[in-house]
């Protein structure tokens, strides 16, 4: 459990921070994955897709889902196919563009997502149970800067 031993070198602070960030994320993610699997027989990307749809009652187009989930289009097709087959989402035509669909939660999908989301949230709350409200907001703010840095960089021309 000591991935952080990777730190060495002359800029140890940034490196140690990165390794800790990675460790924390992996620990939480592994726990969420295995619990989603155990209790709901589902995966994180499936949960993620449904979560995106829950916020968009009118549905989302495939390319919008792809952008929000930060994965390429082919993958979204696969996940969507599974969820359609289980009756949790459906594809509806977009008026005026016969190439495109919108993907929506079905009533059943909405209900199932609600159950999962409630559990999921409780697990997340537990994961951050060692932090005060102020700590949580500090973390959120500082990580926001990291996110900005990375997003800004990804929009620059390649170095």
By beta-carbon proximity to DNA, the closer residue of 45 and 54 is: 45
By beta-carbon proximity to DNA, the closer residue of 78 and 87 is: 78
Q: Which two tokens stand for residue 99?
A: 């190439």
State which H helix or E strand residue 63 sits in.
Answer: helix 62-69
The reply on whether position 86 binds a second copy by CB under 8 A is no
Residue 87 interaction partner, one of a second copy, DNA, none, beta carbon < 5-8 Å per kind:
none
Cα(34)–Cα(38) distance, integer angstroms: 6
- Footprint of DNA (CB under 7 A): 30, 33, 43-46, 61-64, 69-78, 80-81, 91, 94, 96-102
Among 114, 94, 108, CA closest to 54: 114
The reply on whether position 63 binds a second copy by CB under 8 A is no
Q: What is the DSSP string of 12-35?
A: HHHHHHHHHHHHHHHHHHHHHHHH
Q: Looking at the DSSP assignment, which residues form a beta bridge with residue 93?
A: 101
Residues that bind a second copy (CB under 8 A): 1-3, 5-6, 8-11, 13-18, 20-29, 31, 48, 51-52, 54-55, 67-70, 117-118, 121, 124-131, 133, 135-140, 142-151, 153-154
């Amino acid at each position: 459990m000591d991935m952080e031993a990777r730190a060495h070198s002359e800029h140890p602070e940034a490196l140690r921070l990165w390794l800790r960030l990675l460790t924390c994320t992996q620990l939480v993610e592994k726990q969420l994955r295995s619990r989603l699997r155990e209790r709901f027989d589902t995966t994180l990307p499936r949960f993620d897709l449904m979560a995106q749809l829950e916020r968009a009652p009118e549905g989302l187009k495939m390319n919008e889902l792809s952008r929000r989930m930060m994965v390429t289009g082919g993958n979204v097709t696969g996940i969507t196919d599974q969820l359609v087959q289980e009756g949790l989402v459906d594809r509806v035509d977009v008026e005026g563009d016969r190439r495109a669909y919108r993907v929506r939660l079905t009533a059943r999908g909405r209900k199932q997502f609600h159950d999962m989301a409630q559990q999921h949230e409780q697990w997340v709350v537990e994961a951050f149970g060692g932090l005060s409200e102020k700590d949580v907001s500090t973390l959120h703010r500082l990580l926001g800067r990291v996110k900005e840095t990375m997003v800004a960089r990804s929009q620059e021309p390649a170095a």
